[in-house]
Amino acid sequence: MTNRRVLWQGLILILILILGLLVLGCSKKSEPGGEGADSNGDRPERRFLSIGTAPPGGAFFVVGSAIAEVIGVHTKSLGWQVSAEATKGTQENLRRLDSMEIDLALANAAISFFAVRGQEKWEKEYPIRTVMTLAPNIAFFITPDSTGIKSIADLKGRRVVMGPAGAGFEHFIKPILAAHGLSYDDIKVLNDTQGGAVGLLADGAADAAFLGGAVPTASITQACASQSIHFVPFEPQAMDGLVAQFPFFARETIPALTYRGQTEPFDCLNVGNMTLVTSAEVDDETVYRVTKTLFEHAAEVVAKHPAGKAINAKNVIRDTGTPFHSGAIRYFKEAGIWPADRE
């Protein structure tokens, strides 16, 4: 009896060991790090990436949300979770990138240009780097025909809406005014959103407004629908000088009939592309993967907002004066679109 008891105890112990090994093997397969793990067999590291945009209602927030969604979908297997965050816009975004509160951001190229150089109101040189150049920001002064304003010089002493307070419009408006012989102090500056500016023009509370974005711009369409509007022209020589002096400016032409009452093409300026930027402190591998994902899945961004069409081989590498991140350059070289003369 004793030998039988010992035999049974031994068999039970062996069965317990076999069951334990089976359970352990199954648990490894069901966890990240088993069959669902990455190529190294390691558990994906969960990462949370935040993209700063701007207040809801504008293109920055919509485009930033589209970018976050596309990156998130295609990096989910890596453990990435990507979200768009509403902010006050470019100036806040750049400061939060510097303090590493966010990982990526949308920014106006003109504002970034001065931030990386510590010029204008920037108290230091901010280590901002471009990931890719996105859609152009085509903007200009408009005024009701009734004001009698025909040129930028005529804006002197008049009430002009220059964007929301703190948005940083002065970074590109100041050079424009200077090129036409005016200073910012020559204007009676009003601050409001683009929608608010249209209301002020309609009420006669403002004489002109600086409006723009992607073409057609909703605020300009709205203004033209409610009254007869004059597009204040840029002087050709002034535009040439601005483009030569600042890399964020570029000449553009709005086709005739884009807006109600606009019977002729209108020559104007791209006053600073929407750009995707990051901090120089963000590691190369993260920026490389973000760049690769967006460029190779640009059609998915386009499906969410037309500005995604700017994610193309010619535009994404446009130099607007803010250095590109080395991780982005690495991908653009790999894709064969980085110019050899920009080594």
Please tell me the predicted confidence (pLDDT) of residue 288. Answer: 98
Residues 6+ apart with CB under 8 A from 265: 253, 254, 255, 256
The answer on pLDDT for 228 being more than 60 is yes
Residue 135 near residue 276, CB atoms below 8 Å: no
Predicted TM-score (pTM) of this structure:
0.82
Query: What sign does the dihedral 118-124-127-128 (CA atoms) show?
Result: negative
Instruction: Give the model confidence (pLDDT) of 237-292 as tens digits.
Output: 999 999 999 999 999 999 999 999 999 999 999 999 999 999 999 999 999 999 99
Instruction: Give the model confidence (pLDDT) of 118-143 as tens digits.
Output: 999 999 999 999 999 999 999 999 99
CATH fit for domain 138-270, picks 3.90.650.10, 3.40.1440.60, 3.40.190.10, 3.40.50.920: 3.40.190.10
Q: Write down the domain spans for the chain.
A: 47-135+274-342, 138-270
Q: Which of 278, 246, 306 is nearest to 113 (CA)?
A: 246
CATH fit for domain 47-135+274-342, picks 3.90.1150.10, 3.40.190.10, 3.40.140.10, 3.40.50.800: 3.40.190.10
Q: How big is the chain, counted in residues?
A: 343
* Separation CA 243–CA 253 (nearest Å): 14
- Mean pLDDT of the 182-208 span: 95
Averaged pLDDT score across all residues of the chain: 90
- Using pLDDT thresholds of 50, 70 and 90, give the confidence band for residue 29: very low
- Using pLDDT thresholds of 50, 70 and 90, give the confidence band for residue 42: low
Please tell me the predicted confidence (pLDDT) of residue 342. Answer: 87
- Residue, of 207 and 193, whose pLDDT is higher: 207
Q: Do domains 47-135+274-342 and 138-270 have the same CATH topology?
A: yes
